[in-house]
Amino acid sequence: MATLTLENVQKSFGDTKVIHGVDIDVADGEFIVIVGPSGCGKSTLLRMVAGLEGVSGGEIRIGGKRVNEQEPMDRDIAMVFQNYALYPHMSVAENMGYGLKIAKTPKAEIAARVQEAATLLQLTPYLKRKPRELSGGQRQRVAMGRAIVRRPSVFLFDEPLSNLDAKLRVQMRLEIKQLQRKLGVTALYVTHDQVEAMTLADRMIVMNAGVADQIGAPLDVYADPATAFVAGFIGSPPTNFLPAARFGGAEGEMLGIRPEHLTLGAAGAGRIDGRAVSIEPLGAETLVHLRLEDGTAVTVRQEGTAELPAEGAEAGLSWATGEEMRFDDAGRRLR
């Protein structure tokens, strides 16, 4: 196992800078999730750690050793991709042990490591099957098993659950977290799904256009976002944004209010009025979507049993002082 350090890590393609200097010290055994929208640079950052992309500036250290110039095979890392990349003509056991075979590991040791990983991943009954005979979740386990048998210092996951259906993603999410805890291995995990990030991470890096907007524990980032981007990206449904000038703030500033912090009441009884345009009953909770007079869309999260306005009806919106977040015209949090 090993620590991982990124020190002012940068990436440019020609004159275009895509990673603007990321700094983080990852502790031995820590699970870090890199999260952000498509094109924000999260996979590029992961690929630089893996050695699949060159580093334009800064330094990457694994176990305290600089690896900028090292080939991927020399970095003691293992990677699990969105595409399982299994050999279709090989059995599960052969797929899992192939990397060790290439490294000329003794056959007995390969068999022992494959059996150990198969037991851990509940794949023992499937060791003789070909990938086409497996479900999507089982194939993903095989891909993870192939990484586990190498006993790397750092695990790298690049959107490994994107090809799975919603129910299976939830199951595999739990399994990955439990597996990482059992192995005690340092992990770097890329996803665009903020729910995955919140549930898996010890800490997460929220990327925005090549910049690490915020690094922190999931609940800390959720409760205290550093930028309007983070406030809008982390949390479902996302934070509502209102012009601060309507409530005595400066022109260009924004108020951010999470849907669960808004309270619905009679029109004219709240701080602001809106009209209900859509209602989404989800069982335990209901989302009420309103439109303000200026066209601003606002979402309110209510208990599933709460009394709700009819679609098309006006409603007043209130929130307790201190529950709003203020951001300047550049999206930076104002304290």
Residue 253, class by beta-carbon neighbours within 10 Å (0-12 exposed, 13-18 middle, 19+ buried)? Answer: middle
Query: Over the stretch 265-275, which tens digit does the pLDDT of each residue have?
Result: 888 878 899 99
Query: Over the stretch 104-153, which tens digit does the pLDDT of each residue have?
Result: 999 999 999 999 999 989 899 999 999 999 998 899 899 999 999 999 99
Closest CA to 265 of 310, 316, 320: 316
Statement to judge: residues 108 and 38 lie in one domain: yes
Q: Note the maximum CA span of the chain.
A: 77
Statement to judge: residues 81 and 216 lie in one domain: yes
| Whole-number pLDDT of residue 175 | 87
Q: For residue 12, give its domain range.
A: 4-232
Statement to judge: residues 49 and 71 lie in one domain: yes
CATH number at residue 302: 2.40.50.140
| Whole-number pLDDT of residue 242 | 94
- In this structure, the number of other CB atoms found within 10 A of the CB of residue 304 comes to 11
- In this structure, the number of other CB atoms found within 10 A of the CB of residue 123 comes to 22
Which of 195, 214, 232 is the C-terminal boundary of a domain? 232
Statement to judge: residues 116 and 190 lie in one domain: yes
Which of 200, 215, 232 is the C-terminal boundary of a domain? 232
| Whole-number pLDDT of residue 268 | 84
- CA dist., res. 116 & res. 123, Å (int): 10
| List of the chain residues with pLDDT < 70 | 1
Statement to judge: residues 244 and 107 lie in one domain: no
- For the whole model, what pTM was predicted? 0.91
**Taking the C-alpha atoms of 19, 21, 25 and 26 in order, what is their torsion angle to the nearest 10 degrees?**
0
| Whole-number pLDDT of residue 278 | 94
Statement to judge: residues 211 and 282 lie in one domain: no
Query: Over the stretch 35-69, which tens digit does the pLDDT of each residue have?
Result: 999 999 999 999 999 999 999 999 999 999 999 99
